[in-house]
Structure 1
């Protein structure tokens, strides 16, 4: 760690000395001696002509940038993934006092980033602000789609069925002509177009079988999603097909209720008619009796 800190200290001293120099030619001559890795980050953080200022790194990423060349120099045979893993393990073992310089540098960079961002946004026109808002919306939608795809993969969603050409391409990709992937794809497309109809029929049948596989796997997967309460991941056509039987049963129930009401109404009407007829008979009998007495 000591040699790297010595290099950074010398670079910072040289950068301060460059600010004293007034001649641009002298500055260009001295900066050509420094590596580009030490010059570009400062230029990207301060210049705003090419685009918005870059977000600052947190304390952990600053520690990674400091330790990565040191570990690479001492362990050239280690892979990049293992280097990052080793640095992460070292960061976890550091105490708060050892982490403080990196975190304080991150806080200072964050404050400077806010100032630079306000200065950059003040220079934008309304059309540029609208364009940036649109680009941000597109980035958020892309990230959302990526997160959803990862979630579906973790939940075990079946892969979509392949087309006949995709099956043909997967079988003959290794032996295809060309060096690059694009060249192989182009040669396979030409070979596919030159196939006879009976040769393509084999791959068409395999694609139909793959559709049946996908249909069966999707049915079981969507049933499982219903069981665990993830109805939001089910296709719209499946939801509508599951709602139709429920609608039929509710319609049948309402039909039976209406029929029962009709029966009850008919019975009530019949009872009323009977009660209305009985007093009529009694009044007729009374009139007959009165006539006999007279």
Structure 2
């Protein structure tokens, strides 16, 4: 059940192991270098195996900030007809929108333009303030898949900031797992895709990011302190619903499936709130 998740890890054979005797949740304490070192020192085979097919919760617990970057893929900016920004477009998603990777996604009441966005999520593992791009990746605990679900009318036509269209409950699926930074050799060389009802809608690569992961982290650190457990969604490639001709938006019963290379697969069924 949501709120009753237990921490786990995937062993080399793909089995899920229970970490709850060693750590309460995968949050800011566990994600610091010393926390990850303690987890690496464990023998996975000594941990209880989780049987069956349990629900997976968000791969990061107690997220402090959920930040996101808009128009960060050159090919996505082209499909929207908007110019690439001179510096990262930053917005936030309410942390109450975070959900498990396979939990249902709710269409808000009154929504007509619910949309999908597969994104690379970056999980901070060290406090970052006024750092340079050259220092940035050393502050990353790991990476995960994020579906930056969006309501386009709420986002652009309801006045104020994008957060209105980005923060409905279930609009921030994280996971299925966090892959530590040492397992991702180059965050700027990861393929990504998203299907709706079995039809490929998004195909892209982090190689087409306008601002790299390192540049994004460094930029954000000039305006706010980034803390362990903060999550950054780094933008989406082309193929979102509003970019289709004509536009296509999510309806009750639709099924989204999405992945970033090496980070697992999410699947969500759309329901009405």
Indicate the structure with greater helix content. Answer: 1
Name the one with the larger strand percent: 2
Tell me the TM-score normalized by structure 1.
0.13
